[in-house]
Amino acid sequence: MKKTKVGLDQDWGLDHGCWSVLAQMFPAADIPVVQLSLDYTKRASEHYALAKELAFLRKMGVLILGSGNMVHNLSRLVFTGNGLRDLNKPFGLDWAIEANELFKRLINENRHSELSDYLSLGDAVQLAAPTPEHFLPMLYILALKQKNDTVSYFNDQIVGGALAMTSLIIDDEFKNVQCAKQMPLGSN
């Protein structure tokens, strides 16, 4: 790594964005895991550039996973009917649908520089990603995309009006990983 200093911290442990996803994918917990922390002093474009330096790991066959949400605004959640019991029913507010569709279009068109400057993409995006920690992991994955790689989506729905668990896989070799299933909120 040349763009930043990197070191191991054995004291911190894995946060919920890491272990909750890995528990679904690898319930036996029989794989080595290294979690990358996000430096909030860096711009999104700097995170994207840093991620480019991780390409050698992908070439070595290392699975690189980014865990977050394209749309994640807990302050705008809408509870309908039966409260928490209805939270996983598909429903999106207009701005959440707009942002989710814009993100997918930019991904499909390989317009990563615009995604790296996501705060300039308008009000819907600013509502969708009011804080960076759920959006930035996607930039790490997109930075590793090669010219001929394909992108596929799963779990593509908005719930609670303001949360999109839309997930993507880059390249065909990982499409058969047994994690490609709907993971409802609270399903750790």
pLDDT digits (tens, 9 = 90+) for 87-141: 788 899 999 999 999 999 999 999 999 999 999 999 999 999 999 999 999 999 9
The mean pLDDT of 67-94, rounded to a whole number, is 87
Place 184 in a pLDDT band, splitting at 50, 70 and 90: very low
**pLDDT for the residue 10:** 84
Q: Which long-range contacts (CB under 8 A, 24 or more apart) does 28-34 make?
A: 34/8
Query: Taking the model in full, what pTM does it have?
Result: 0.86
149-157 average pLDDT score: 90
| Residue 114 CA to its chain's centroid (Å) | 16
Predicted local confidence at residue 62, as pLDDT: 87
pLDDT band at 164 (very low <50, low <70, confident <90, very high): very high
Cα angle 104-184-95, degrees, rounded to a multiple of 5: 40
CA–CA separation, 155 vs 184, rounded Å?
9
- CA torsion 79-85-90-91 (nearest 10°) is -10
Q: Is 176 exposed, middle or buried (0-12, 13-18, 19+ CB in 10 A)?
A: exposed
Count of Cβ atoms closer than 10 Å to residue 64 Cβ: 17
What's the alpha-carbon Rg for the chain, to the nearest Å?
Answer: 16
CATH topology of domain 16-174: Protocatechuate 4,5-dioxygenase; Chain B (3.40.830)
Q: How far is it, in rounded angstroms, from Cα 74 to Cα 129?
A: 10
In angstroms, the CA 56 to CA 169 distance is 18
Domain boundaries in the chain? 16-174
